Amino acid sequence: MKRDLKIPKVTFRVRVGDEVETDGGCAIGGEWKNITTDDYFLGKRIVLFSLPGAFTPTCSSQQLPGFEGNYDKIKSMGIDEVYCVSVNDSYVMNAWAQQMNIKNVKMIPDGSGNFTRFMGMLIGKNHLGFGMRSWRYMAVINDGVIEKWFQEPGINNEGTDDDPYIESTPEKMLKYLDKTSINNNDGDNTANTNTTNMFKI
């Protein structure tokens, strides 16, 4: 995928200010807010990673904690923020972040799946009872424009159990950021991925 492709304009419904009053209790006391992709991305250089679901094994044991653990290093390499997006509602994303003790990575709830669908990454996982979820990917987004794209191989909508975790790791991101800090973005910042599904609305 070539650079300069703008991300879609989407509004996310986000819960803010909720608190859990008792162990195992529901998060209450907050409010709903509308936060747009412009709010999240304009004027910033962002690392975005997407995963199939909160509380799922690879996402919880490797990908999310990996980006959290490398947050300071990633930010030191010219990145303003690190975002995690998943096709889960805001209650679920907030509860997952709390359980995982996430203090730095910002959680974006794509509850409707609209952002993921417009990015061409929405797939069916009905065979697992998940419904529609995101294929695993990550990107550097600079002022709302995709600078670099990483996508796991084998994207499919056929209900297979394949969920590779090779291309969207924090280690791959750090390698890219280190390279671009050295060569000042010379050359073609494109990923060797299949992006035929990108931005089909």
Residue 155 belongs to some domain of the structure: yes
pLDDT-derived band of residue 157, with 50, 70 and 90 as boundaries? Answer: confident
Whether 13 maps to a domain, the answer reads yes
Query: Structural domain tally of the chain?
Result: 1
Residue 105: burial class (beta carbons within 10 Å; 0-12, 13-18, 19+): buried
Could you give the count of Cα atoms lying within 13 Å of 162 in the half-sphere of its Cβ? 13
User: pTM for this one?
Assistant: 0.87
Higher pLDDT, 127 or 199: 127
Report the pLDDT value the prediction gives residue 22, as an integer from 0 to 100. 58
Position with higher pLDDT, 18 vs 142: 142
Q: 59, 93, 155, 177: which is the annotated catalytic residue?
A: 59
In a domain, 196, yes or no: no
Q: Residue 126 is part of which domain span?
A: 5-183
Catalytic-residue membership of 59? yes
Is 200 a member of any domain?
no
The distance from CA 184 to its chain's CA centroid, rounded to whole angstroms, is 25
- Is position 198 within any domain? no
Which domain CATH number covers 74? 3.40.30.10
Average pLDDT over residues 37-41: 98
Residue 101 placed within a domain: yes
DSSP state of 184: T
Please state the φ and ψ torsions of residue 12, each to the nearest 5 degrees. -100, 140
Q: Which of 56-60, 123-127, 178-182 has the highest mean pLDDT?
A: 56-60
Does some domain include residue 190? no
Is residue 140 a contact partner of residue 148, using CB atoms and an 8 Å limit? Answer: yes
pLDDT tens sequence across 180-190:
886 654 444 43
Give the per-residue pLDDT at 95: 93
In the chain, the percentage of residues whose pLDDT exceeds 90 is 71
Whether the pLDDT of residue 25 is over 70: the answer is no
* Any domain includes 189: no
